[in-house]
Every structure is written in C-alpha cells, then in structure tokens.
Amino acid sequence: MVPDDLWERVAPLLPPAPERRHRHPRRLRVPDRVALVGTMYVLRPGVAWRDVPAETVGCSGVTAWRRRRERTEASVWRRLHAALLTELRRAGLLDLDDCSLDGTHLRALRGGIRSGPRPSTAPVPAPSTTDAVPSIRGPRGRPRRKPQRLYADRGYDFDKCRRLLWKRGIKPFIARRGFAHGPGLGKVRWVVERAFAWLHQFKRLRTRYERRADLHQGLLELACSLICLRRLRTSS
C-alpha cells in the first residue's frame, strides 16, 4: 500500500525519530513505512483505526494513528503535497493560469472546531482559498502562488468576493444569479467536480471522524498527494 515512488518522496520529509523512548524503552520502534501502511489502510477503505489488522499491516491502529498525528503536526503531508505540485508543474502537467473553485459539505460525527451550522461565508472563502495555495516552482521564473483567473458558480456571486479577488490580481469568472441559462462556465469548471470524485474514492474523507480539524486536513493533503502522484505515473 506504500509503493517505492511514494516512500521515496515521504521519507526525506519525516522528522528524526526520538533517540530515547520513555515508555516501553526495550520495545522496538515500528518502522515509519509500516506506520504509513496503517494510515493508508484507514484512508482508502475508510475503516476505523481500531479495526486496523496488526497481523496484516504490521502495526496496531493506535500506533498508526499516533504516528499520523506526529506527521501532521510536523507538516509532512502539506510539504509532500507542495512538492508533488512542483513536480507536476515542472513536467508541464499543472496549469496555474486557470483555477476552478467549489465547496462541499461533510458530516462531522464527533463535532469539534470548525463544525456545525453557520451562515454563508462564500465571499471570504474564495479569496482565502487562493491565499492557501502553496508556493509552486516551475522550470523557470519565480514560484507561483495564485492563478490568473478563477471560475466559480452562483454560490460565489457576491460583489465582495469579486473585489477581494481583483485585489489579489485574480480575474473572477463567477456565474450570476437570476439568469435562466448558465454562462457556459461548466466547460471549465468540470475539473473541480472531477477532483471531488477522485477524493471521494478515499472513503475516510467522506465523513469527518476526527475531532481535530488539522488531522482531517492532513488526511486530505495525503489523498491529494496520492492523486498528484498518480498523475505523474500516468504521464511517464
């Protein structure tokens, strides 16, 4: 479940293992690659951490969860995703000029921060989402951090949203409410629906089980990294 090309990219990003274990000092530390297998076992089929078969995976679900938490706090998954986006751009497989935006909703079974009903914040998420784009290097020139054009549906039809995007140097193409026919943006925006379909293949992401939002975000970044790696494989 952890192929060599994935592990070669993950291993350099891992923080060094602690030199001394305070609990169970004589017990051998589970290898990082084995712990990543446990995380992948949960991410793809969506099983609970307690249901990870230690005899098959090589570690318990508790160990895999704890190691996943450490890697999330060390920003391993975010850096992995950024590195793979850079590889895609250098290979000519990532177009940063055009960007499509949409939102989705997940059930948060355990509640926690950033969960529960709240009023529409579409005017703010669109610009803040573009601000979260990592620095992506290309074959030449400065790294890119924002698209030139952003496409969105009527849910983002707010003047404030357009102003904030223009302020960032991004030209908005947002469908208008009240028109009987669409503006034809579906010819461009279909890529975001395809991205959601790819992410839904990772069943653990269909429902937010994690109480901490950063842990769920870490699984999302790992899934995005796997999608990027798959794109690199198919293009070679």
pLDDT tens for each residue of the chain, 236 residues long? 899 999 999 999 999 887 766 666 677 889 999 999 999 999 999 999 999 999 999 999 999 999 999 999 999 999 999 999 999 999 999 989 999 999 888 888 766 655 554 545 667 888 889 999 999 998 888 899 999 999 998 889 999 999 999 999 999 999 888 876 566 787 888 999 999 999 999 999 999 998 898 999 999 999 999 999 999 999 87
Q: Tell me if 74 is assigned to some domain.
A: yes
The DSSP bridge partners found for residue 165 are none
Q: Tell me if 205 is assigned to some domain.
A: yes
Cβ(221)–Cβ(85) below 8 Å: no
Q: Tell me if 23 is assigned to some domain.
A: no
Residue 12 domain boundaries: 4-16+28-105+144-234
Residue type, 37: V
Please work out, in degrees rounded to the nearest 5, the angle formed at the alpha carbon of residue 25 by the alpha carbons of 22 and 28. Answer: 125
Q: Tell me if 127 is assigned to some domain.
A: no
If one counts the domains in the chain, the total is 1
Provide the b/e sequence for 122-132 (b: ≥16 CB within 10 Å).
bbebbbeebee
Give the span between the Cα atoms of 108 and 174, in whole angstroms: 29
Q: Tell me if 124 is assigned to some domain.
A: no
Phi, psi of 85 (to 5 degrees): -65, -40
Q: Tell me if 163 is assigned to some domain.
A: yes
